Structure 1
C-alpha cells in the first residue's frame, strides 16, 4: 500500500508539473519505449522512461557538482528542442553479425539557467526499440575554458525491487563473482575484503555496469554506458530503501576530482537496455549503436582467429613468466642465472606453432618473453620494470616470428605493464613499430596491480585516456588490442575496430588458483546477460584436463562439453584453446575447436534465463556453417532446439558434443558423447545438460552430389 501511495503521489506531482511546464516526449520507432522530459517549478530537470505504456524508470533527476562553480541541479528552463530520426544499416568488419540496424528517434533539449551565470546545457535522448540512451552536452561559458566535475548526479528511480545480478562498484577491477539479490539487499561493502583481489577498491555501496535486473513479470533492464571518452567510468550508487540508483563516477585521489574537460564537450551515454525476455538483451546492439562510426578505415589486416599459447602452463605451475631468480631491481643482466622453468623459450614457442599449424589455429600468444618479470609484482615502485622491446636470452623474437609465418601462424604480442602506464606510454611507439616491422597485428595488454601514480584507479578518467591512447597508437601501426585489467567495454569497437576484446571479468585463470574454489557453475550463465552485453570477452576457454592435477585444491567447475560450448556462447573475435597441446592430443572432442568459427554473419539467441542457462547459434561468415552452444548452471536440464534458424534448402551434417549420461562437473566432468546426425531447417533436437554441463554442435553444410 505504501508503494502504491508513493506512485500515486509521484504521478500527481508529474501531472501538476505538466500543467505549468512543457512535457517533451520521444518514442522509439515501434513506440514500445518512450522518454518524457520536463523541468519542475523550481527548474529541476526530470525524466521518466516507459515500456509499452508502463513506467519502468519513474521520475528521476540529474545534475552536476563542480569545483569552483555552483552545482547545476535546478533553476533551469527549456529554451528549445528538436527531434531527429535515423534509420541506417552499418557493417561490422568483424563481430557477432555482419549487418547492424541503427534505428532511433532522438530528442534534443536545450536548457539554460534562469539566474547568473546563465549556463547552458543540452541533453540528447535517443529511443530505440531495444532501450534508451541519453547524454549531456556542456556548452561554452564566457571567461571559462574548462570545468572540473566533482560529481555527476544522474538518477534512475526503479519502480520495483528487482532481482539484480551485480558485482561491486570497484574502482580497480571487474573480477568479482556476480551476486544475485534484490536491489534492496545489494551490499557492495561486504565484498570489500574479497580474497584473491588484492588491488580491489570499493569505496561505497555501488555496483559496476552492466548491471542487469529482472522484474517479477519477467521484464529485464540492463544499465550501462556507451562511448566512454575522456571521462571517468560510471558506477551506480544503490539506495536500498528508495530503490534509486545514482551515478557515481570513479575519482582520482591524486587530482581530487572526477573529470576535467575543456569546453565544449559531450559526456558518455547513460544507457538502459529494455527487454521482455532475457534473450533479447543479448540480441540488443544499443551499446555499439550509440558509438560513432569507424574512424580508422580498413582493418582487414586484423583477422579474427583462434589461438593457443604460453599462458595456461604458468597458471598450473608447469613453467614461469620470469627467466631468472630474483635479482637487482634496477636492470636485467644477460648473465643472470636462469632457473630453468622459463616458459617463453624459442623451442617451446615453436612447439605451440607446430601444434597450431596442424589444427586450423592461426595465432600463438607468448607471455613472459620480455625482460622485467622478475620484478613485475609485489614491488611498490614498478616504473621502468618492463622492456617491451628486449627479449630474454632464450627467446629469439625474430626467429619465432619467421617460423610462424612459414607455418601460417601469426604471433600475438604480450605487453604486461604491471599497472605502470607511464612506462608503457614511453615505449608505445617503439614497441608498436617493432610489431609492425615483424608483421604482428595484435597485442594482449595487461595492467595487474595498483595504478602508478598512486591515487589513480583503473577506471578513472586518467586511465580511460591511457587505454584510448594505446588503441589510437595501435591503429597507427595496424595493431589490434586485447586489453586485460581494462576499462569496461562501452561499444568503442565500432569507432575503433582494432579494439578486439577485453578481459574485464573473473576469467578462466581463477579456476586454477583462486582460494574460493574458482568460478561456480552459475558464473558464465550470468556473464552472458551482464558483462557480455558490453562487448567481446577474452575468457580463454578450452580446458580439457579439468581436474587440474597440479592444483589439488582446484578444478574447472564445468564439464568438458561446456568448455566446448563457450566458443559459441561467450563471444570474442579471438578465442583461445587455452590448455596444453598434450592435453588435446588424441581427444575426439578437440575436433569442435578445430571446426568452430570466430567471425559471424548472424547470431540467434535460442533460449536462456540469467544465471540459469543460455543457448546461442551463430553462422560463420566465410563458410555459411552454423555452430550452436548451450550451457547450464549447477542444475541439470533438458534443452529443446528448433533448427528453424538454418538456411532454406540446405542440408547439414550435425556433429553433437554433449554431456554423457553419467557426466557431472564435480565427479565426472570429462564424460562426453559425440554423435552425427543430418538436420535441416525445421528439424528439432532435445539435448540433456548435466550439472555444470553444456553442449556444442557443428552444423556443416553438406555438398550436393
Structure 2
C-alpha cells in the first residue's frame, strides 16, 4: 500500500482513498473458480462500461487473457455492455456415465460451475453465462431465461473472444461456411494472413469469409501449453468460426450466416452451444479429454440396443478412383420422370450391379464384416453434380441392375447387412420431403444404417452447410432416423460437437479431408497426425482407411494420384483415428493378395473399454493403445509424419501377471510413403506389462500391434 501511495502526486490522501476504493470495488466484482484439481483458474469480471469478460490460467500460466463476452443483436440494443451483475451461483458436480459406444467404458463428468447472471440496466434484459471448469479445460455458454423484455431476437454476431497470450503455433483450416475439406496448415498465428490464399483449395461448395478466418476445432501450441478451442452441443444455432486479429492474437467468434445474413434466430428461453477450451502441458491430455462429450446432454434415445458399432466394406473406392461409376448410363440433362432406365443402354462401368455387390457380400461374410456399403444404387446419378436441382433423387428407386430384394435376401443369408446411401446433392428440402418414405424403404429391406451426403451448394440457394437452418436439418434427420431405428453416418455435414452422446445413432461423420482425397491429389503425410487434435476432438470420423494399393493408377490408368501413407500406417489408422464405424476401403481383390496384413483389420475392434495415449505431438506423431470392449485384447496404432521416427513405448497398461502375444505389423526395410509404400514386415513377440518396445516408423509410416492374451 505504501508503494501505491507513493505513486500519487503529493501523497494526496483523498486521491489515494479513491483509488483504493476503486481497486477494492473491482476486486469485489471479479468472480473466480478453480478446477477440481486446482490447476485451472477462471476469472470473470465486468470491465468498464459493464462489459463482461473472462480469463483463464493453467498452473499459474496464462491460457487466455481477459476476453469479452456478449452478443450483437439485429435492430435492437446489443447484449455486449451496460451490464450489472445481479447474481453468481456456484456448485460442484461429479458423476460417471457409460456411453453406448466409445473410446472408454466409463466417462467421469467432474466440474466446478459458476453461473453469473447479468442484467442490462437500459433494457432490463437478463443474460446468464454458465461456466464449467474441468481438470482438462473450460466450457461456457449463454443462457436467456423467458422474459418479456427479450422474447424473439436475431443474433447479428456473437462477440465471444479467446484472447491468446502470444503468437502461438497453430494447426488451422481456412474459415469456411460450407466445407472443412482442406489440408491443415501449420504455422504461427502471425503467418495466417500470408498463407491463407494458398490454403484455400477448390471444393464442390465453399464460402470463405476472411484472410484471417479459421475453423474449429483449432489446435494451438505456445508458452509450454497445448490449447484446443471448439464448441459443444451445437443445437438450434449456427456453427462457430474464429476471426483472428493477427496483431493482438485475439480470436473472436464468427457465426455462419443464413440466406438473409442472420447468424441465429432465437426465442427465449434458449441457450447457445458451449464454447470449449481444452488445455494441458501434455499433448496426450488433449486427446484423452472428454470435455466436449461431457457438455452434451445424455442420450435422448431410451432403447439403444439397436445401435451397434460397424465394420464394413463397400462399393465406393472403385468409384472414387474412377475404376467404376455411380451412374448407370452416360446421359446428362435428364429428368427422373423423363427417362426409362430399363430401355436405356448401360455404360458398362456401373459399380452397384448385382454381381459386383454379391462379390463384396461374399467377401464380408468370409472375413467377418458386418456390412457392405453400396453407393450409386439408385436412379439420378447421371445429372446432378453442381446443377442446383431441387429434385434429383427419390431415395427408393434402384437402377435396373440393382435388385434390392434379391441382394438383401442374399446378404441376410450370409449374415451381412447392406448399408444404405442417401446422397442429397445438397437439396435439403427434397430430402426432407422423402425422408419418411426413404426410412420406411430401409426398414422394409433390412437396412439399419445410412450414409448421408451433402455434396455441392445447399438448395434452397443462399443457405450454408453450417448455418442454423442446416444445423436443425441435420439434427432433424437424426431424430427421424431414431424413430425408424436407423444409424446415421453424415458426410459433408457440420463437424461434430459431441452430439453423439445425445443421439448415439450418429454413428459416424466425415467433415474433413478423408481417404477419398488420396485419389484427388493426396493428403499431406502429416494429415493423420493432426486430425486427432483437430477434427476428432468433436467426435469420431469415418476416414475410410485400409488402402493397400497405394497407386491409384492400378485401378484407373488416367489417375496418377497416390496414397500418402505406407501400408503399415493404413493399419495403424484403425486405432489412431477413432470411429465406431470402420471401413476396409480397398477392393476385395487387393486384400486377397495381402491376407497376412489384412488380418489386423479383421481382428481390430471398433468399440473400446479403455484408451491410452502413449505418445503424441500434433503434426509429428500419435501412438494410441485401446482395449477391446469386453475382452482382454489390446490394439496399438502409431502414425508419423514425412520425417519418420523411432517410437518407444512401454506396455504397463497390460494386466500385471498375465502373458500376451503381440503381433507387430510394421514398415518393411526401406519403406517410404512415396518411394516404397507397400513393403511391410510382421513379427510376433511374447510380452507382459513389464515389456518395452522400440519400433522404427518410416517416413509417412507407422505400425499396428494386436496384443492378445496368451492361450486366447
In the alignment, what sits opposite 2:40?
33
Deviates more, 1:460-469 or 1:192-201: 192-201
How far has the Cα of 1:298 moved from its partner?
2.4
In the alignment, what sits opposite 2:92?
85
Please point out which of 309, 317, 322 is paired with 1:312: 317
In the alignment, what sits opposite 1:5?
none
How far has the Cα of 1:305 moved from its partner?
1.9
Q: Is the 8 A contact 1:189 1:202 kept in 2?
A: no
Deviates more, 1:20-29 or 1:422-431: 20-29
Give yes or no for the alignment of 1:166 onto 2:176. Answer: no
Q: Is the 8 A contact 2:185 2:199 kept in 1?
A: no
Give yes or no for the alignment of 1:522 onto 2:529. Answer: no
Please point out which of 673, 685, 692 is paired with 1:684: 692
How far has the Cα of 1:139 moved from its partner?
2.4
Q: 1:18, 1:593 → 2: CA distance?
A: 64
For the structure 1 residues 14 and 140, does the alpha-carbon distance in structure 2 shift closer, same or farther, using more than 3 Å as the test? farther
Q: How does 1:229-628 map to 2 (within 5 A)?
A: 229-252=235-258, 254-331=259-336, 332-334=339-341, 335-379=343-387, 381-514=388-521, 518-549=522-553, 550=556, 552-587=559-594, 588-628=596-636
Q: How many residues align?
A: 685
How far has the Cα of 1:216 moved from its partner?
3.7
TM-score (norm 2): 0.94
How far has the Cα of 1:27 moved from its partner?
1.3
Q: 1:479, 1:188 → 2: CA distance?
A: 45
Q: 1:485, 1:129 → 2: CA distance?
A: 33
Q: 1:162, 1:448 → 2: CA distance?
A: 34
Please point out which of 184, 188, 207 is paired with 1:182: 188
Q: 1:166, 1:351 → 2: CA distance?
A: 41
Q: Secondary structure at the match of 1:400?
A: helix
Please point out which of 223, 227, 233 is paired with 1:221: 227
Deviates more, 1:33-42 or 1:534-543: 33-42
How far has the Cα of 1:653 moved from its partner?
1.1
Please point out which of 147, 150, 158 is paired with 1:152: 158
How far has the Cα of 1:473 moved from its partner?
0.6
Q: 1:167, 1:628 → 2: CA distance?
A: 29
In the alignment, what sits opposite 1:47?
54
In the alignment, what sits opposite 2:682?
674
Q: 1:466, 1:18 → 2: CA distance?
A: 50
How far has the Cα of 1:195 moved from its partner?
3.7
How far has the Cα of 1:624 moved from its partner?
2.2
Q: Is the 8 A contact 1:480 1:498 kept in 2?
A: yes
Q: Is the 8 A contact 2:307 2:504 kept in 1?
A: no
Q: 1:502, 1:287 → 2: CA distance?
A: 16
TM-score (norm 1): 0.95
How far has the Cα of 1:430 moved from its partner?
1.0
Q: 2:684, 2:196 → 1: CA distance?
A: 49
How far has the Cα of 1:162 moved from its partner?
0.7
In the alignment, what sits opposite 1:3?
none
Deviates more, 1:72-81 or 1:181-190: 181-190
Give yes or no for the alignment of 1:203 onto 2:209. Answer: yes
How far has the Cα of 1:172 moved from its partner?
0.3
Q: Is the 8 A contact 1:226 1:291 kept in 2?
A: yes
Gaps of 5+ in 1: 1-12
Q: 1:17, 1:153 → 2: CA distance?
A: 27
Q: Secondary structure at the match of 1:585?
A: helix
**Deviation string, structure 1 residues 342-376 (Cα, Å, up to 9, x no partner):** 10112111110000111121110000011110112
Q: Secondary structure at the match of 2:481?
A: helix
Runs of 4+ in 1 over 6 A off after TM superposition: none
Please point out which of 634, 639, 650 is paired with 1:631: 639
How far has the Cα of 1:196 moved from its partner?
3.4
Q: 1:566, 1:198 → 2: CA distance?
A: 26
Q: Secondary structure at the match of 2:395?
A: coil
Q: 2:199, 2:625 → 1: CA distance?
A: 39
Q: 1:668, 1:631 → 2: CA distance?
A: 16
Q: How does 1:128-143 map to 2 (within 5 A)?
A: 128-142=134-148
Q: Is the 8 A contact 2:174 2:199 kept in 1?
A: no
Q: Is the 8 A contact 1:35 1:47 kept in 2?
A: yes
Q: Secondary structure at the match of 1:161?
A: coil
How far has the Cα of 1:68 moved from its partner?
1.9
**Deviation string, structure 1 residues 482-517 (Cα, Å, up to 9, x no partner):** 100011100001111001111011111111123xxx
Q: 1:285, 1:221 → 2: CA distance?
A: 14
Q: Is the 8 A contact 2:233 2:273 kept in 1?
A: yes
Gaps of 5+ in 2: 1-18
For the structure 1 residues 300 and 645, does the alpha-carbon distance in structure 2 shift closer, same or farther, using more than 3 Å as the test? same
Please point out which of 650, 660, 663 is paired with 1:652: 660
Q: Is the 8 A contact 1:568 1:616 kept in 2?
A: yes
How far has the Cα of 1:66 moved from its partner?
1.2
Q: 1:18, 1:480 → 2: CA distance?
A: 57
Q: 1:508, 1:15 → 2: CA distance?
A: 62
Q: 1:633, 1:224 → 2: CA distance?
A: 24
Q: Is the 8 A contact 2:311 2:583 kept in 1?
A: yes
How far has the Cα of 1:567 moved from its partner?
0.5
How far has the Cα of 1:14 moved from its partner?
13
How far has the Cα of 1:622 moved from its partner?
3.3
For the structure 1 residues 497 and 18, does the alpha-carbon distance in structure 2 shift closer, same or farther, using more than 3 Å as the test? farther
Q: Secondary structure at the match of 1:356?
A: helix
**Deviation string, structure 1 residues 13-66 (Cα, Å, up to 9, x no partner):** 999665334211121111111211121242111111111122211111112111
RMSD of the TM alignment (CA)? Answer: 1.6
Deviates more, 1:648-657 or 1:669-678: 648-657
Q: Is the 8 A contact 2:242 2:252 kept in 1?
A: yes
